[in-house]
Structures are given as C-alpha cells and as structure tokens.
Amino acid sequence: MRKVYSKIESIAGNVITVKAEGIKYGELAEVTTSFGKSLADVIRLNGDTVSLQVYSGGRGVSTGDEVRFLGHPMKVSFSDNLMGRIFTGSGMPRDNGPELTDNLIEIGGPSVNPAKRIIPRNMIRTGLPMIDVFNSLVESQKLPIFSVSGEPYNELLARIAMQAEVDMIILGGMGLKYDDYLFFKDTLEEGGALSRTTFFVHTASDPIVECLLVPDISLAVAEKFALKGKKVLVLLTDMTNFSDAMKEIAITQEQVPSNRGYPGDLYSQLASRYEKAVDFEGAGSITILGVTTMPGDDVTHPVPDNTGYITEGQYYLKNGRIEPFGSLSRLKQQVNGQTREDHRALMDGMIKLYAANLESVEKKSMGFRMSDWDTKLLKYGVIFEKEMMDLTVNIPLEGALDKGWEILADCFTPEETGLKTDMLNKFWPSK
C-alpha cells in the first residue's frame, strides 16, 4: 500500500515539494486537487524533500492536497489499439475513447548503440516532387521543416501524413492551436489516414508540462512499433513550442539561462529526441519530421540553430513552397542513385535552371531588357513553380521525373539544358 502525503510544503510555478521517504528520482505521483487529479513526476530529491513537477500545472493546487506516489516512472500503454486514437501529452484519451492501461512501457528510454546503426538506404516516397525529386526523405532520417509562422507547415505535415509510404504515423502536437488540432483530425479522417495514425496532442491551452512529454511519449511508442517491424514516421509540430516550454520551466526553476533565456542543455535535450530516429537492422525504422518555426525568420535563433546541428538537413518552407536552395537532405545521395538513372542529373539540371530563372526575375524587376534566353527562363520558372513546387501536387517520383522532362522540353532546346548528351538521348520527350 502506497502512502499518501497530504502536506505540500511549497508551490512555485508548476513545481510542488513534499516531505517523503523512499521515493525514486523520476517516479510518478498523482496529485488530487479540488479540480481533479493530475500526474506529477519527481524532478529533484534533496534529503526527504521531494520536488514534483505537476503535469496540469500548479494553479489551484493547495497545500492541503493529497499526493500519492505510484512507485514507477511515467509510462504509456502500448498496443495496436493505439492506432486511430488521440491522446494528451500525458497519455490520456482526448477522443472520448477508452483509457488504455495494458502493456505499459516506459518513456525516454536509453539511446541506440551507434555500433548497431546501419547506413540509411531506403527512400520514403511522399508524392511531393520537391521532396521526392529534389531532397529525398530517407528512412531513419531526422529532418526539420524550418518555417516562419504563418506558413502552411501544418498543411504540409498533414499532406505528408496522408501520402507518405510508411506503415504508420505518429503525430506529436506541441502548443497547437485548437483549430490546428481539429484541422489535423479532420484532414486525416477525410483522407482516410486516421486509422494508421496515433495522435499525441498538446494544445496551446493545455498545461505546459504536458508539452514536454509529447516528443518522449510519441517516440517511445514509435520505438516499440519500429522494433515490431513497422516503418514509422513521427511528425512533430512545433519543436519551437517544445523548446519554449523547456525555457519556461527552466526559468521558473531558477536555472541559469544560456542563450536568449533557453536552458544550457537545449542542444542535448533536442538531440536526445531527434536521435531516436533509427533504422533497426532486421526490424522497422523511425523517421522524424519536425516543424521548427523560426521567430522572425532568423535561422541563428537558438532553436533552429541547435536543430540544424542535430538534424540531417532541413526543408525551408517559404512563401508556401519548399524552397529548393535553403533545403537540403543530407542523406539523399544514399538513395537517389538507385531510383532512376536520370534522377540525379535531372535534379541538378532543373535546379540550376531555376536558379538562372531567379536571376532573370531579378533583372526584370530592375527594369532591364529581357533577352530571348531570359524569356525562356521566365516561362520555365512559372511552369516549374506551378507543376513542381506547389504543395498540392501529388505525383509519384517517376511521374515527377517524366513531368520534369516535359517541362524542360516545353521551355528549352536539349542543348540549352546543360544536361549530359546520353541522358538527353534517352529521356528527351519526342514531339
């Protein structure tokens, strides 16, 4: 029988302290307040003083409330019943479905032995040409979507969730606007992808501590599915909210801030989540796609900056499109050589021409006279943006490559493309 403690010594922010014995670091407790029950976990032990972080926040907690220790760390139920369900950051149902309590697994487990990792080798097809053709997503890759607030990053994630060729999707929402949460839910439901998706959602009005739990709980579940042979795609939105939650909690706990108020371990904290991306030899894999909104479009802001050092490239979302220049998938070389022989050549060729187009656009805006070549490039730019870059385009890789050739043939003569002759002979569309 677990002892119940009914004297809370101090309450500061989300942290309460009680005097208790035999408590373990990281242990979970249940706090019963007049507003209902909340979970809390032990974040500091000092003699018999136990500091607990209350998931639903310290607001309304009274010194006379009861604290009952559960004798185990934070756990989440794991089974196939998770599919199609929606939970809060602390694993409680938010879709009126039953609470899941069987087969509990711990969250935030140990990291994968680097010696057991393998060189990534499989592409994940998303049906978006800007990803598949130009910056292929690779199984076990971790990639952020760098975006300014206001860009349609959630729409992009939802599209990827519906179109990506994976076995299951885990969507972790942090600080989501309630509307966005409903958007995800409705879109996936309509698109028929809800049945292969599990949601862990923290909305902006939910207690801040639950925001911190979202990546861990999502990744713990993903890891178990991956070990069972599933190809899992974890979508996290938005990691900047997660970092801000960390900042908020660190500051209220009087930790010394390092850069712009963020805690000194921001890098390690982000890395321990992103590094969960892995390809288990002989089993499944975890691929992570996270959104990082950049305050003020500033890539040197601590969150995108630290993220960039951790992840294997990034997608830049700008003006509603995946920007081809800032975006980079570091692992694309591992896979785009095996898709179709024209993949790499076409990728390079089209991007070079698009870059040339941008120069012409600039020249035009400055009022210079347009040469024939400029006119061709401008035409190409318009078609390229419409047929390739638009986020609503959904075509398989091969279709996108064929389309690429068509666009080139529509705008240029073969020599003008700068592509190698053998490629041109083989793939140039005959009219």
Which residues contribute to the site for another protein (CB under 8 A)?
Answer: 21-27, 44-48, 73, 108-120, 140, 227, 255-259, 263-265, 267-268, 271-272, 275-276, 280, 299-302, 305-306, 308-310, 312-313, 328, 331
Considering the complex, what minimum distance in angstroms separates the CB of residue 342 from another protein? 20
**Cα 259 to Cα 184: distance, rounded to the nearest angstrom:** 33
Considering the complex, what minimum distance in angstroms separates the CB of residue 287 from another protein? 12
- The number of angstroms, rounded, from the C-alpha of 318 to the middle of its chain's C-alpha atoms is 17
Considering the complex, what minimum distance in angstroms separates the CB of residue 343 from another protein? 17
Q: Give the Å distances, CA to CA, from 236 to 136, 274, 347.
A: 19, 10, 28
Cβ nearer to another protein, comparing 34 with 113: 113
Residue with tokens 């801030």: 257
Residue with tokens 């950049």: 294
**Cα 65 to Cα 81: distance, rounded to the nearest angstrom:** 34
Considering the complex, what minimum distance in angstroms separates the CB of residue 301 from another protein? 8
Specify the amino acid at residue 294. M
Cβ nearer to another protein, comparing 77 with 272: 272
Do residues 17 and 51 make contact, with C-beta atoms less than 8 angstroms apart? yes
Q: Residue 314 pairs with which residues in a beta bridge?
A: 328
Query: Could you write out the DSSP letters of every residue in 320-382?
Result: TEEEEEEEEETTHHHHTTSS-TTHHHHHHHHHHHHHHHHHHHHHHHTTPPPPHHHHHHHHHHH
Do residues 315 and 144 make contact, with C-beta atoms less than 8 angstroms apart? yes
Considering the complex, what minimum distance in angstroms separates the CB of residue 417 from another protein? 19
Cβ nearer to another protein, comparing 84 with 308: 308
Specify the amino acid at residue 6. S
Considering the complex, what minimum distance in angstroms separates the CB of residue 334 from another protein? 10
Cβ nearer to another protein, comparing 50 with 423: 50
- Count of Cβ atoms closer than 10 Å to residue 97 Cβ: 12
- The number of angstroms, rounded, from the C-alpha of 290 to the middle of its chain's C-alpha atoms is 2
Torsion (CA) 229, 287, 306, 105 in degrees, nearest 10 = -40
Cβ nearer to another protein, comparing 23 with 391: 23
What is the chain's alpha carbon radius of gyration, rounded to the nearest angstrom?
A: 25
Residue with tokens 């896979």: 335
Considering the complex, what minimum distance in angstroms separates the CB of residue 262 from another protein? 10
Cβ nearer to another protein, comparing 250 with 401: 250
Considering the complex, what minimum distance in angstroms separates the CB of residue 190 from another protein? 36
Cβ nearer to another protein, comparing 267 with 428: 267
Cβ nearer to another protein, comparing 108 with 399: 108
